[in-house]
């Protein structure tokens, strides 16, 4: 079936079948390889994207569900070559090593920041917000610092 949707602000269309996860369409038909491939089963979060501004795992998103909706990936966050402030916070806090998990964490953080997080930031609340994402390198501490500093900078 053919679906029409908004992808990083542009109207697009794609030929999909129901058992295809949107992740595979984004990577193969639109070359958005910032949407990573990990577990295929909703456990690791590297494929996280925004569906109508809410974070979801695109490996579990049946492609037809995107019809008429808006999808945002990591590639759509920066404007005119300038990093989104969440990307900047990850960079400033050294919140990545290999970087494979980073797009997923950033998309989860963008959703969390849009749902009025506590400020001053609460560590437990941040941990709940990013618990759908796995990082095998950093030990999470720097990611938590990055999310905290993004919350603080979002107020300014």
What residues line the site for ligand FAD (CB under 6 A)? 42-43, 60
Shortest separation between residue 80's beta carbon and another protein, angstroms: 29
Shortest separation between residue 42's beta carbon and ligand FAD, angstroms: 3
Name 11's Cβ contacts closer than 8 Å, sequence gap at least 6.
4, 5
Nearest to 142, CA basis, from 87, 96, 101, 111: 96
- By a kind-dependent CB cut-off of 5 to 8 A, residue 145 interacts, out of ligand FAD, ligand FES, another protein, none, with none
- Helix axis angle for 85-92 and 141-155, nearest 10°, is 140
Residue 12 to residues 32, 53, 58, Cα–Cα distance (Å): 13, 17, 17
By rule CB under 6 A, what string of x and - marks binding of each residue 117-146 to ligand FES? ------------------xxxx--------
- Judged by CB, which is closer to ligand FES: 47, or 72? 47
- Judged by CB, which is closer to ligand FES: 10, or 19? 19
- Judged by CB, which is closer to ligand FAD: 123, or 131? 131
Shortest separation between residue 60's beta carbon and ligand FES, angstroms: 7
Binding segment (CB under 8 A) for another protein, from list 4-12, 17-25, 70-78, 92-100: 17-25
Specify the DSSP class assigned to residue 116.
-
Contact predicate 64/3, CB 8 Å: yes
What are the φ and ψ backbone dihedral angles of 9, each rounded to 5 degrees?
A: 90, -5
């Amino acid at each position: 079936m053919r679906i029409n949707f908004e992808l990083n602000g542009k109207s697009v269309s794609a030929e999909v079948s129901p058992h295809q996860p949107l992740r595979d369409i984004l990577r193969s038909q639109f070359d958005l390889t910032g949407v990573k491939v990990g577990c295929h089963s909703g456990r690791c979060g590297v494929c996280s994207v925004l569906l109508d501004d809410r974070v979801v795992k695109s490996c579990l998103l049946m492609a037809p569900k995107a019809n008429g909706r808006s999808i945002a990936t990591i590639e759509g966050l920066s404007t005119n070559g300038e990093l989104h402030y969440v990307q900047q916070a990850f960079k400033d806090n050294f919140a990545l090593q290999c970087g494979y998990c980073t797009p997923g964490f950033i998309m989860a953080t963008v959703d969390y920041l849009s749902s009025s997080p506590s400020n001053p930031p609460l560590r437990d609340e941040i941990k709940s917000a990013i618990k759908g994402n796995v990082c095998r390198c950093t030990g999470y501490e720097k990611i938590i610092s990055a999310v905290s500093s993004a919350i603080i900078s979002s107020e300014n």
